Amino acid sequence: MNQTGVVAWLAVKELWISFRLLALLTAYVGVGALVALVPAPGPTALARLAVGLAVATIVGAGIAAGSLGAERALGRAGWLVTRSITRGTLLVGWFIALAGISLVGLAAAVSLGWLAASTVASPLEPGPFAIVVVGVAATSLAAVAIGLLLGSLMGPMRATVAAIAVGLVVGAAAFALLPATIVPLTALSELQALDRPVAAGVQGAGIGLAITAVALVLARVALGRVDL
């Protein structure tokens, strides 16, 4: 196993011990379960799913920020770096761990959401739904990357609060001001009314991955300038 894999495994183990892994999975899976258990017409179910996933994404950002902040504050990050683990490897390992858990939870949530929203009276086409979900997944990755950026700069509590605050402000602004064609969660909530859902999903995925890349680069620069 290479160094990145070792760090990712240690990150998953730490998330499990601290119950953050359970909290992150519950945030996503709970959304899907709630949508599936509370009957509603297709459009309403999709809207509930989108809002719930937005909340879960913000929770993911907060957990990412607090986790890396705690690793720095407790000295575990510094201990790994003194044992030939580079700061970039540390960052990538934590991103892989958190992103993987988030995507597993997202997959479970959207599967349950699909079952709830797709009915005989209001069928949901799988192709457009899947593409929009890819955009939602990219948004989830961007949230994790932003959380890690904040965790690279602040202590665990401050980083968690900052990540949640940023998520709430950006999420509210995106839902209220931006078109569904560039906000995957909005596209998901309005899926059955969109003229070009595939284009919306692809464009949203591209924006999400671009934000992820920028946030990870900034996080790597930040980690290079702070004490571990």
- Digits of tens for pLDDT over the chain (228 positions)? 688 888 999 999 999 999 999 999 999 999 989 988 887 777 788 889 999 999 999 999 999 999 999 999 888 888 888 888 889 999 999 999 999 999 999 999 999 888 887 764 566 778 888 999 999 999 999 999 999 999 999 999 999 999 999 999 988 888 887 777 788 888 888 887 777 888 888 998 999 999 999 999 999 999 888 877
Supply the DSSP symbol for 154: S
Give the helix/strand (H/E) hosting 22: helix 20-37
Q: Are the C-beta atoms of residues 98 and 11 closer than 8 Å to each other?
A: yes
From CA 117, how far away is CA 198, in angstroms rounded? 18
**SS3 letters across 124-153:** CCHHHHHHHHHHHHHHHHHHHHHHHHHHHH
Q: Are the C-beta atoms of residues 113 and 56 closer than 8 Å to each other?
A: no
* Gyration radius from the chain CA atoms: 18
Amino acid at 135: G
Q: For residue 171, how many other CB atoms are within 10 A of its CB? A: 20
Closest of 209, 15, 203, 214 to residue 104, by C-alpha = 15
Cα–chain center distance at 32: 15
Task: Look up the pTM and report it.
Answer: 0.93
Closest of 180, 151, 181 to residue 166, by C-alpha = 151
Q: What pLDDT does 120 receive?
A: 46
Angle of CA points 97, 112, 34, to nearest 5°: 95
For the chain, helix (H) and strand (E) counts, in that order, are 9, 0
Residue with tokens 């730490």: 14
Q: What pLDDT does 42 receive?
A: 75
Q: Is 222 helix (H, G, I), strand (E, B) or coil?
A: helix
